[in-house]
Amino acid sequence: MSIRISENVSTAARRDILDLEKKISSFVSGSMTDEHFRKFRLTRGVYGQRQPGVQMIRIKLPHGRITADQLVRIADVSDRYATGNLHATTRQDIQLHFVKLADSPQLWADLEDASVTLKEACGNTVRNVTGSARAGIDPEEPFDITPYAYTIFDYFLRNPICQDMGRKFKISVSSSEKDSAYGYMHDVGLVARVQDGKRGFKVMLGGGLGAQPFPAQTAFEFLEEDRVIPFIEGVIRVFDRYGERTKRHKARMKYLLNDLGLDEMLRRIEEETPALRVKQYQVPGLPLEVRADRPEASGFKLETTDTKLNTWFKTNVFEQKQKGWYAVQLRVLLGDMSSDTARALAGIVKKYAADDIRVTVNQGYLLRYIRPEDLTAVYNELNALGLAEPGFDTTADITTCPGTDTCNLAISSSYGITRALETMMREEFPDLVFNDDIKIKISGCMNGCGQHSVANIGYHGSSLKNGAYVLPALQVLLGGGFNGKGEGLIADKVIKIPTKRGPDSLRVLLRDFETNAFDGEYYSDYYARQGKNYFYTLLKPLADLKTVIDSDYVDWDHTEQFVTEVGVGECASVILDLVATTLTEAQEKLGWANEALAESRWADAIYHAYNTFITGAKAALMSRDVPTNTQHGIVSDFDKTFVGENGFHEAEGDFKSLVFSINKQEPSEEFARQFITRATGFLTSVQAYREHQIEIEGAPELQELTQAQDS
């Protein structure tokens, strides 16, 4: 069945959708390997689930911004192709689950018709750019970061410099010094600042979560607004060239920065300046719905005998910087919303609010520009949908990933323990809906999609062995998040306990804090004052495996005995000629270079040609069983290994000088044409060399290849 694509869909998106359909056909017919297809589909937002035969579709929403009609379209698509559920993520995306692979191109086409994309939502690309949900209405912001977050997303979407990196790359933009977008845990984190009357950003570099979390380092206390995008491009170029590509667990930017040091990293970024597409980039404005102040409605006081409504107003509503207008924040359990609820929410937005919904980093939603006289009506309509639970972004509002419900990598249930903890707090600590200092975050494994490493109290799924048996467990992490000085901290791993004792652990921690903390003391400051050993001793009785009972061997939301396993892998072992596959990739990149040249996109053409050199050299090295790693290493090794070889360079250093001329030349038409001509000749020589090698040595032995999952 052919794909139906609306005239509203851009040419670039149309080609991407048709290309996905074509690659699916190739994969199904067996003419495309599992690994090659996996790498392709991930950058199109199509991610393998724990359950075989179905996909998770990640929808990329720059800084979580979405209109009412777009929300309806996503709900309709979920009904048609998925389960009728919309899962909001900590990256301000929305995910759909249990989608058939064959349906993914049409699903994408239906979304692109509403200007919503899947492009580069997964894979080794620039992931969704996150931003403060309050941007534009935040009383504490120096300026609205919305146009900056969107422009960064748009600038790097389909940008050649980030289509085939060693690992993913994450960027956030915070509207104020509170760093509500958690810049300190990102590859690049920006915080809005004004200096001497000029707009700019504090720039943080090299943060990251995962099994070994790193806090970002401050590259600039203030960088002018028009230098931010060129700087990020320079960072990505350096990461692409020098970043690890073989040892996947060491392939993030944080490790490169740690190896090079900040000064050397900044020096290499500066070296990329001549090759940048732009040296300065002025961010254009966006058509945002900004309404005039209503000072007569400012400072609204809700008067009602309804206790829940009063609590909701105190914890989920705030007055915007635009006087007399109010924003409403929706607490969403597990980040999950049914399609019917989403459509009803869109109706409430159209009736009472600006057409500018924001998905928040704690998996909720924010509505803006609501009149105070409409707040009670908004509450009543939200309450009827189950969307008026008080305590947005408080201790009672836990952030969590889907865990073993759908994720390949999860070890234990995230959803189950989250429900149990929230129920316990609601029954035993009802006042926690007013506490916005302690944040609790949960992940199903160490990789950190639930961002447990930046929680004041965090948990991640694990397992414990007790004799011949294994039971589901939780790693407890404490002291992350923000302290009283506003500093972002990485949590310490304190102790591992059986998962069924999770509520007991939280109960002990909360009661201890109530009893021993100073008045007004932040939880992370309290943790630092008492020390890790204090909390280890406090929780140690819960780790005693001599007292486990039968139910401890059963995970939350399950009835069967727990078994440690990671779900079905992203790909099975495949048999292929790795050199031929790599040469095919090089030819594809050369095609992109010529296409960009024809469209007068000189910088893009040059970078595609550069990648042709890299991939061709990699194929040649593989043909001689020379291991490859970083792009810089590939060029250096090819330069030494093939010097004097027929069809290649005559002197050592010639190839290296040619390829790395990319960052010494302005991206002009003349250089683009010259560079592509050289790349074309080089690839032809590699292909000829490979054919000659096969003639002499015979057909290559096919190799078995198994790849780990993307996370």
Report pLDDT for 576.
42
One domain for residues 529 and 630? no
Q: How large is the average pLDDT for residues 74-82? A: 98
Point out the domain boundary residue: 522, 553, 584: 553
Residue 697 resides in a domain:
yes
Pairwise CA distance, residues 556 & 552, whole Å: 9
Would the pLDDT of 429 be above 70? yes
Point out the domain boundary residue: 275, 309, 326: 275
Report pLDDT for 567.
45
- 208: DSSP letter: B
Residue 102 resides in a domain:
yes
SS (H, E, C) 378-394: HHHHHHHCCCCCCCCCC
Supply the CATH number for residue 348's domain: 3.30.70.3340
One domain for residues 103 and 139? no
Would the pLDDT of 239 be above 80? yes
Q: How large is the average pLDDT for residues 254-271? A: 97
Q: Residue type at 150?
A: Y
Pairwise CA distance, residues 341 & 324, whole Å: 28
One domain for residues 135 and 220? yes
Q: How large is the average pLDDT for residues 175-182? A: 96
Summarised one tens digit per residue, pLDDT across range 284-340 is 988 888 899 999 999 999 989 999 999 999 999 999 999 999 999 999 999 999 999
Report if pTM > 0.85: yes
One domain for residues 106 and 136? no
Would the pLDDT of 215 be above 60? yes
Pairwise CA distance, residues 530 & 456, whole Å: 14
Instruction: Assign 620 to helix, strand or coil.
Output: helix
Report pLDDT for 559.
86
Mean of per-residue pLDDT scores for the chain: 92
Point out the domain boundary residue: 210, 240, 275: 275
Q: Residue type at 611?
A: N
Report pLDDT for 286.
84
Report pLDDT for 686.
94
One domain for residues 449 and 369? no
One domain for residues 368 and 417? no
Report pLDDT for 35.
78
Supply the CATH number for residue 460's domain: 3.30.413.10
Would the pLDDT of 111 be above 70? yes
Report pLDDT for 709.
39
Residue 124 resides in a domain:
no
Supply the CATH number for residue 56's domain: 3.90.480.20
One domain for residues 56 and 168? no
Would the pLDDT of 708 be above 90? no
Tell me the pLDDT band of 409, cut-offs 50, 70 and 90: confident
Domain assignment of residue 535, given as a range: 399-553
Residue 558 resides in a domain:
no
Q: Give the tokens for residue 692.
A: 């000659």
Pairwise CA distance, residues 361 & 215, whole Å: 18
Residue 122 resides in a domain:
no
Tell me the pLDDT band of 265, cut-offs 50, 70 and 90: very high
Question: 172: which residues sit within 8 A by CB, 6+ positions away?
Answer: 129, 130, 131, 181, 182, 183, 186, 188, 189, 190
Tell me the pLDDT band of 711, cut-offs 50, 70 and 90: very low
Report pLDDT for 532.
97
The C-alpha angle with vertex 281 and arms to 276 and 282, in degrees rounded to 5, equals 175
Would the pLDDT of 661 be above 90? yes
- For residue 51, give Cα distances in angstroms to 127, 184, 570, 706: 24, 34, 10, 19
One domain for residues 177 and 40? no
One domain for residues 197 and 242? yes
pLDDT more than 70, % of the chain: 96
Would the pLDDT of 607 be above 60? yes
Q: How large is the average pLDDT for residues 476-504? A: 95
One domain for residues 68 and 195? no
Number of domains in the chain: 5
Q: How large is the average pLDDT for residues 608-628? A: 94
Q: Give the tokens for residue 505.
A: 């652990």
Task: Tell which residue, 418, 505, 403, has the closest CA to residue 461.
Answer: 403
Pairwise CA distance, residues 24 & 118, whole Å: 16
Strand 171-174 versus strand 130-131 pairing type: parallel
